[in-house]
């Protein structure tokens, strides 16, 4: 017996209106998956020709994905506010909907031209509480990973479920109650940035590189896809730690990844699966945002590894 996303959502003890918001993001993700699969044939790869508010070159598919999300969200009267990586300002929709969605419609878009996994990340909040709410106020979070299979990962705070898109465009439950392994010997960080790293990051990674000959006492492996969604999905499935710490180059911006639609939803998912998340010295989910596109340091994954990094930050 298969369980479809609609059946699973109907069985959750959450407001059906909130479930409908997640269903809208799932529908947008299914449509984006279809577009991505055929984009090279349709000539939709490459740059869109403009930059977003954060000064990053938008890919054609960033813009297309954003339009798809906007279209699905616009059709759901329960949603009154949309915050997107690709839109300078928050969009206030013409309805009284109770919910706000913050999204990165296409994460990891630099990987598109090389046919490597990208994703859609989203966070759902109470629209009446304003744009700048801490991650602890999130009501739901999820992401779609467009890989060999399209996976949709959802949490309402307690437990994390994984769905897979079938050939008919329907999401089917393939994993329930996911748990992030507490221990791991795999880490993800862009090591080309080593010269910018702080002492804590340097010390933690040095211990991992030393492997069984160092204080960690075990051998580590490094994996970095360069798509947060793909890296976090691997960690959800088999443990590990993901790090985009504050470094001397990103310090003026506050970090690399965005709080509202990258760090917060991923931290909620990882924590709901028993993992941990931090900026190094503060809890990501407790940060009070100062802007919708605010950037923050992100360290999350297996609890024991995150605790080791926090240990180094506490010493610094």
Question: What residue ranges bind Mn ion (CB under 5 A)?
Answer: 85, 104, 106-107
CA distance 192 to 2: 44
Q: Which does 227 bind (CB under 5 to 8 A by kind): ligand AHG, Mn ion, none?
A: ligand AHG
Please identify, using beta-carbon distances, which residue of 76 and 279 lies nearer to ligand AHG.
Answer: 279
Cβ of residue 20: shortest distance to ligand AHG, in angstroms? 26
CA distance 153 to 166: 15
CA distance 128 to 99: 8
Query: How many helices (DSSP H) and strands (DSSP E) are in the chain?
Result: 7, 17
| Per-residue binding letters, 45-64, with ligand AHG (x by CB under 6 A) | -----------x--------
Stretch that binds ligand AHG, among 30-38, 212-220, 223-231, 300-308 (CB under 6 A): 223-231
Cβ of residue 4: shortest distance to ligand AHG, in angstroms? 29
Cβ of residue 124: shortest distance to ligand AHG, in angstroms? 19
Please identify, using beta-carbon distances, which residue of 216 and 266 lies nearer to ligand AHG.
Answer: 266
Using CB under 6 A as the binding rule, whether residue 226 contacts ligand AHG is answered as: yes
Query: Torsion angle, CA of 144/107/242/125, rounded to 10 degrees?
Result: -70
Report the candidate in 149, 153, 163, 69 with the shortest Cα–Cα distance to residue 117: 149
CB 117 within 8 A of CB 225: yes
Give the H/E segment covering residue 81: strand 79-84
| Per-residue binding letters, 100-129, with ligand AHG (x by CB under 6 A) | ----x--xxxx-------------------
Cβ of residue 16: shortest distance to ligand AHG, in angstroms? 31
Give every CB contact of residue 33 below 8 A, 6+ residues apart in sequence.
144, 146, 150, 165
Residues contributing to the site for ligand AHG (CB under 6 A): 56, 85, 104, 107-110, 190, 226-228
């Amino acid at each position: 017996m298969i369980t479809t996303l609609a059946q699973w959502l109907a069985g959750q003890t959450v407001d059906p209106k909130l479930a409908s918001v997640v269903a809208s993001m799932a529908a947008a993700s299914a449509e984006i998956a279809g577009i991505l699969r055929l984009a090279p044939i349709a000539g939709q790869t490459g740059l869109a020709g403009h930059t977003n508010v954060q000064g990053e070159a938008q890919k054609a598919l960033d813009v297309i994905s954003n339009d798809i999300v906007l279209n699905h969200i616009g059709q759901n009267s329960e949603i009154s506010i949309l915050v997107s990586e690709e839109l300078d300002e928050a969009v206030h929709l013409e309805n009284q909907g109770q919910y706000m969605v913050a999204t990165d419609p296409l994460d990891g878009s630099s990987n598109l031209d090389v046919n490597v996994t990208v994703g859609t990340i989203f966070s759902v909040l109470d629209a009446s509480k304003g744009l700048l709410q801490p991650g602890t106020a999130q009501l739901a979070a999820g992401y779609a990973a467009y890989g060999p299979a399209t996976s949709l990962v959802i949490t309402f705070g307690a437990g994390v479920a994984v769905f897979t898109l079938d050939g008919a465009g329907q999401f089917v439950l393939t994993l329930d109650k996911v748990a992030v392994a507490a221990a791991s010997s795999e880490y993800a960080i862009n090591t080309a940035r080593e010269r910018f790293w702080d002492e804590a990051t340097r010390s933690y990674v040095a211990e991992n590189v030393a492997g069984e000959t160092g204080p960690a006492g075990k051998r580590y492996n490094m994996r970095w896809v360069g798509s947060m969604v793909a890296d976090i999905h691997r960690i959800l499935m088999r443990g590990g730690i993901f790090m985009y710490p504050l470094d001397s180059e990103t310090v003026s911006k506050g970090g690399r990844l965005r709080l509202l639609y990258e760090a917060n939803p991923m931290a909620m998912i990882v924590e709901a699966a028993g993992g941990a998340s931090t900026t190094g010295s503060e809890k990501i989910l407790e940060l009070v945002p100062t802007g919708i596109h605010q950037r923050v340091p992100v360290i999350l994954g297996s609890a024991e590894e995150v605790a080791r990094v926090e240990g180094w930050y506490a010493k610094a």
